[in-house]
Amino acid sequence: MIPLRVEIEQVLQSAFGRLGYDAAYARTVRSNRPDLCQFQCNGALAMAKKVGKAPREIAGDIVALLVDDTRFSRVEIAGPGFINMTLSDTYLASYGSQSAHEEPTWDSTGKTVVVDFAGPNVAKPMHVGHLRSAIIGDSLQRLFRTVGYNVISDNHLGDWGTQMGMLITELQRRMPELPYFDSLQTEGFPETPPLTIHELETMYPEASKACKEDPERMKEAVEATDELQRGRPGYLALWKHFVALSTETLHRDFSRLGVHFDHWLGESFYMDRMGRVVEELTRDGFVYESQGAQVMDVSRPDDSKEIPPVMLEKSGGGFLYATSDIATIEYRMKEFSPARICYVVDKRQALHFEQVFRAVRMAEIVSHTVSLEHVGFGTVNGKDGKPFKTREGGVMKLAELMDLVINRAAERMEESGIGRDASEEEKNEIARMVGIAALKFADLSNHRLSDYVFDIDKFSRFEGKTGPYILYSAVRIKSILRKVQAAGFSSGEILPFRHDSERDLLLELGRLGDVYEKAAEDCAPNYLCDYVYDLSQVFNRFYRDCHIMKEADTALRGSWISLCQWTLKTVEDVLSILGIVVPEKM
């Protein structure tokens, strides 16, 4: 399916070419004044100086070629040289009949994109702060697959940093008799973890607090981390227990959220590469010593602000996040040959990624044909404008947040009488789907760089721009189509329109491909949220005007059924990209 705008642009390109004008100026856009026209081309103004003609004269030449084209009901010059176009209902109906059953084609087909997202730290329970990376990253991997990319998604776990040393030294203080702390023992360590996941998650904040308050404790943790990274057997065995315990819980939470990854390659996976990367960068003259540390200068003469050097190795030994990220990019380039690498990480990490991206380009690990993108995002705040917390003031775990929204969805359903005829099991499943939809849509409908206020009462409503509203609209279409099927009615060719709302619906459906491509280009799932909300609004007006079950004209009824089927497929496809599943009934 070619987007309707693109099909009209191709008509303009042909007209420009026939007149000897550069077809690149035939760029066509959707009109922001639908009361005046449906589409507009401003190319006559842009090219006037180049061809030495007045814009209105150029526009007049083009309009003269199009005025008798049956695809248009009206083509006219507006203002200083705008070309305003309105399509004929006959052409729109024909476009709809053909496009409703076609799959789109994409320029990105065959290209590879790596999407790095989520990346929680081992031993720490996921909290509300992990929500945005997980949801945005998952929607982007789904979107990229939809527009034809070969997608490699990676949950780049933080499993090799100083927090490991903190845990090791804290556990040694509590259980010094464990064999993991015997520096002479090299094998035969227990296969069963010495603590539970609950004990591990409780121990980490206590260990972190102690290290922050006591420099000596932090020194011990750093030394333990260095020993772990050098391969001390007991520490490695203990580290494997920590990772196994954490990943089991992470898999459960991500699965419940409907988020999945192609790979779970943590920082430890790249450990052997880090030293080699530093050696190669040193050999090539990029690395120098600064106060005992190994650093790389990534500044440029034209920088408008200071860009500090990248620290690759600490003065006492040990690698840093930048070293890990450079080694990771090197691996991804060799293994996957991507056209794009997208890091879905908090916007406050912008400087870090600027440094890393500059380093890998300077070292020619990545060519300038590959797009390296920091897909930053803002924070989730409470109504007080501060980061969202529990009622007690603590950090809310992601699992607790999911429970909260699902329970609120169940309450909303009870208040609205939704699902009253369903069994208790069905109600619980619908509440789960509505709750997750509320959570995801609330997050993704905001531009990712914006901070937003988490308002569960607002997000869980079945009216307004919310996930539950979109689900309810989709379920309504499913209900209509079940009645259609029970009555023995069938779909048919889309006909010229009796109501304005039919035309509006088809015009909205014809935008889909443009929305997908722009959302993929800008890494902006909020475009999809805006689109599916607008489409639901337009469909509800169509539903008000076009009474399918009462319509006696078989052909017209079949046309309306086809529009319903196309709309449902589109809504379900867009929601699937957002990670939202539509129930059969509500």
Determine the 3-state secondary structure of 105 from DSSP: coil
Q: Could you count the other beta carbons within 10 Å of the beta carbon of residue 275? A: 14
pLDDT 10s digits, 172-185:
999 999 999 999 99
What does the alpha-carbon distance between residue 278 and residue 313 come to, in Å, rounded to a whole number? 8
Show Cβ contacts of residue 186 under 8 Å, excluding neighbours closer than 6 positions.
233
What does the alpha-carbon distance between residue 443 and residue 483 come to, in Å, rounded to a whole number? 34
Under a CB-based contact definition with an 8 Å cutoff, are residues 75 and 85 in contact? yes
- Report the pLDDT value the prediction gives residue 396, as an integer from 0 to 100: 83
Determine the 3-state secondary structure of 252 from DSSP: helix
What is the percent of the chain with per-residue pLDDT over 70, rounded to a whole number?
99
The least confident of 97-101, 428-432, 512-516, 556-560 is: 97-101
pLDDT 10s digits, 291-323:
999 999 999 999 999 999 999 998 877 788 999
Q: Where are the alpha helices (DSSP H) in 195-232?
A: 197-213, 215-229
pLDDT at 515 over 70: yes
Q: What DSSP string describes 543-569?
A: HHH--GGG---HHHHHHHHHHHHHHHH
Show Cβ contacts of residue 271 under 8 Å, excluding neighbours closer than 6 positions.
160, 229
Show Cβ contacts of residue 327 under 8 Å, excluding neighbours closer than 6 positions.
270, 273, 274, 276, 277
Q: Which residue has the tokens 């379920």?
A: 475
Q: Which residue has the tokens 């540390």?
A: 293
What does the alpha-carbon distance between residue 252 and residue 491 come to, in Å, rounded to a whole number? 42
The least confident of 51-55, 63-67, 102-106 is: 102-106
Q: How confident is the model at residue 390 (pLDDT cuts 50, 70, 90)?
A: low
Q: Where are the strands (E) in 8-158, listed by range? A: 28-30, 39-41, 72-78, 82-87, 112-117, 150-154
**pLDDT, averaged across the chain:** 94
Strand 340-344 relative to strand 150-154: parallel, antiparallel, unpaired?
unpaired
pLDDT at 104 over 80: no
3-state secondary structure 423-438: CHHHHHHHHHHHHHHH
Query: Residue 332: is it exposed, middle or buried by C-beta count within 10 angstroms (0-12/13-18/19+)?
Result: buried
**Mean pLDDT of the 65-82 span:** 96
- Report the pLDDT value the prediction gives residue 392, as an integer from 0 to 100: 57
- CATH 3.40.50.920 at 112-158+264-380, yes or no: no
Q: How confident is the model at residue 391 (pLDDT cuts 50, 70, 90)?
A: low
pLDDT 10s digits, 196-244:
999 999 999 999 999 999 999 999 999 999 899 889 999 999 999 999 9
How many angstroms from the chain centroid is the CA of residue 433?
19
How far separated are the first and last CA of the chain, in Å rounded?
31
**Mean pLDDT of the 464-490 span:** 96
Instruction: Give the amino acid at 428.
Output: N
The least confident of 92-96, 154-158, 390-394, 415-419 is: 390-394
Q: Which class does domain 4-87 fall in?
A: alpha beta
Instruction: Give the amino acid at 132.
Output: R
What does the alpha-carbon distance between residue 423 and residue 107 come to, in Å, rounded to a whole number? 47
- Report the pLDDT value the prediction gives residue 15, as an integer from 0 to 100: 96
Task: State the Cα angle at 559 between 554 and 565, rounded to 5°.
Answer: 120
pLDDT at 105 over 80: no
- Report the pLDDT value the prediction gives residue 389, as an integer from 0 to 100: 67
Sheet holding 340-344, edge to edge: 150-154, 112-117, 340-344, 371-375
The least confident of 131-135, 257-261, 393-397, 471-475 is: 393-397
State which fold the 398-577 domain adopts.
Isoleucyl-tRNA Synthetase; Domain 1 (1.10.730)
Cα distances (Å, whole numbers) of residue 504 to 2, 471, 536:
18, 21, 12
Q: Which helix (H) or strand (E) holds 386?
A: none
Question: Where do the domains of the chain lie?
Answer: 4-87, 112-158+264-380, 162-257, 398-577
CA torsion through residues 550, 553, 554, 559, sign: negative
**Is the pTM for the entire model greater than 0.85?**
yes
DSSP 130: G
Q: Which residue has the tokens 């992470």?
A: 250
- Report the pLDDT value the prediction gives residue 304, as an integer from 0 to 100: 93
Residue scoring higher pLDDT (107 or 379)? 379
Determine the 3-state secondary structure of 289 from DSSP: strand
- Report the pLDDT value the prediction gives residue 319, as an integer from 0 to 100: 86
Show Cβ contacts of residue 111 under 8 Å, excluding neighbours closer than 6 positions.
148, 149, 150, 338, 339, 340
Q: Could you count the other beta carbons within 10 Å of the beta carbon of residue 289? A: 11
Burial readout 427-452 (b: 16 or more C-beta within 10 A, e: otherwise):
beebbbbbbbbbbbbbbbbbebeeeb
What does the alpha-carbon distance between residue 69 and residue 295 come to, in Å, rounded to a whole number? 65
pLDDT 10s digits, 241-283:
999 999 999 999 999 999 999 999 999 999 889 999 999 999 9
- Report the pLDDT value the prediction gives residue 554, as an integer from 0 to 100: 97
Instruction: Give the amino acid at 434.
Output: V
